[in-house]
């Protein structure tokens, strides 16, 4: 069972890769035309949903791995859970401005306020993703 959970944890990490490319893709919004913005926003909504499912997979498989593989400090586990919750919250919050961008682009309206929000949140998500990777690579043991 341990090997299966480790495999699922790796699959979840790959699925969370959307968070690594998100700020770079979002940076192209202002260079695109209205219909292209709508398409990009729709794609990022779908990618964000995949990232959220991967995040849940990470939490479940990671919880199993923590309970069976090592003796981690309580501070490390609490830090990881808080960062995962922040990642989940921000990846959910970013969906609304992305939907507003898609709707505004379909109507031919300006969506620059929503684009700015998405750019800011995607940068924060990227930083949290890097922190999670660093903490997973160098966990604190008792």
The answer, yes or no, to whether residue 141 has pLDDT greater than 70, is no
| Whether the predicted pLDDT of 139 surpasses 90 | no
Q: What is the pLDDT of residue 136?
A: 87
The per-residue pLDDT for 142 is 56
pLDDT of residue 50: 94
With a threshold of 0.75, does the pTM exceed it?
yes
**pLDDT at res. 86:** 96
CA–centroid distance for 53 within its chain: 10
Determine what percent of the chain is predicted with pLDDT higher than 70: 99
Query: Residue 68: what pLDDT?
Result: 85
The C-alpha atoms of residue 139 and residue 124 are separated, in whole angstroms, by 22
> Among residues 62, 69, 68, 19, which one has the least CA distance to residue 44?
19
Strand runs (DSSP E) across 9-129, as ranges? none
CA atoms of 114 and 98, how far apart (whole Å): 7
Tokens 């990642």 map to which residue? 87
Per-residue pLDDT reduced to its tens digit, 77-134: 899 999 999 999 999 999 999 999 999 988 888 888 999 999 999 999 999 999 999 9
């Amino acid at each position: 069972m341990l090997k299966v959970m480790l495999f699922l944890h790796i699959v979840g990490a790959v699925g969370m890769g959307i968070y690594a490319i998100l700020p770079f893709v979002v940076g192209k919004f202002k260079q695109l035309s209205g219909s292209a913005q709508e398409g990009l926003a729709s794609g990022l909504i779908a990618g964000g949903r995949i990232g959220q499912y991967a995040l849940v997979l990470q939490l479940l498989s990671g919880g199993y791995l923590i309970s069976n593989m090592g003796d981690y400090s309580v501070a490390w586990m609490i830090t990881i859970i808080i960062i995962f919750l922040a990642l989940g919250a921000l990846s959910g919050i970013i969906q609304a401005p992305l939907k507003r961008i898609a709707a505004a682009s379909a109507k031919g309206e300006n969506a620059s306020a929503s684009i700015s929000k998405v750019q800011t949140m995607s940068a924060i998500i990227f930083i949290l993703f890097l922190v999670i990777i660093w903490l997973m690579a160098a966990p604190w043991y008792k």
